[in-house]
């Protein structure tokens, strides 16, 4: 299944694109506080973000990997990414996300992962 576009009250979740790299690099992939619990290390150059997004784009039709760019509807800001990945060892999906610090504490990760939307 191709990663679907989803929508909540405040967020549009759409597949990330390589063209998002500069925004992501400038706002959170370089931030050690954002990356501390991620599977990836802080990006040292925009090329690191481009390489990651190229991999993400290649997996958009994989039924075991879903990645989304998170867009704040109020101002159309790309403020983070999130995803769900099948962990074969446990037979369950893992959910992860990273947000630009400006958007921490607003309940957006909870909203993005809620099944009530």
Assign residue 66 the CATH number of its domain.
Answer: 3.40.630.30
pLDDT at 41 over 90: no
Instruction: Report the chain's mean pLDDT, rounded to a whole number.
Output: 90
- Please give the structure tokens belonging to residue 37: 């619990």
Please indicate, yes or no, if residue 78 is contained in any of the structural domains.
yes
pLDDT for 56-72, tens place per residue?
999 888 888 999 999 99
Q: Total structural domains in the chain?
A: 1
Supply the pLDDT for residue 62: 87
100 contact partners, CB below 8 Å, separation of at least 6: 27, 28, 31, 34, 77, 79, 80
Please indicate, yes or no, if residue 18 is contained in any of the structural domains.
yes
pLDDT at 117 over 60: no
Please indicate, yes or no, if residue 117 is contained in any of the structural domains.
no
Please indicate, yes or no, if residue 1 is contained in any of the structural domains.
no
Query: What are the residue ranges of helices labelled H in the chain?
Result: 21-24, 32-35, 46-58, 108-113
Model-level pTM? 0.89
User: Which residues constitute the domain of residue 43?
Assistant: 6-104
With cut-offs at 50, 70 and 90, classify the pLDDT of residue 1.
low
Q: Collapse the DSSP code of 92 into the 3-class scheme (helix H, G, I; strand E, B; otherwise coil) and give the result.
A: strand
Please indicate, yes or no, if residue 113 is contained in any of the structural domains.
no
With cut-offs at 50, 70 and 90, classify the pLDDT of residue 108.
very high
């Amino acid at each position: 299944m191709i990663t679907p576009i989803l929508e909540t009250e405040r967020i549009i979740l759409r597949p990330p694109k390589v063209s998002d790299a500069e925004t992501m690099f400038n706002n959170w992939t370089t931030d050690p506080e954002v990356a501390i619990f991620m599977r990836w290390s802080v990006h040292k150059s925009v090329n690191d973000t481009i390489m990651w997004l190229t991999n993400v784009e290649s997996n958009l039709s994989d039924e075991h990997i879903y990645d989304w760019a998170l867009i704040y509807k109020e101002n159309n800001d790309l403020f983070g990414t999130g995803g769900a990945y099948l962990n074969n060892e446990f037979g369950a999906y893992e959910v992860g996300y990273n947000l630009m610090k400006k958007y921490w504490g607003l309940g957006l990760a909870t909203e993005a992962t809620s099944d009530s939307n």
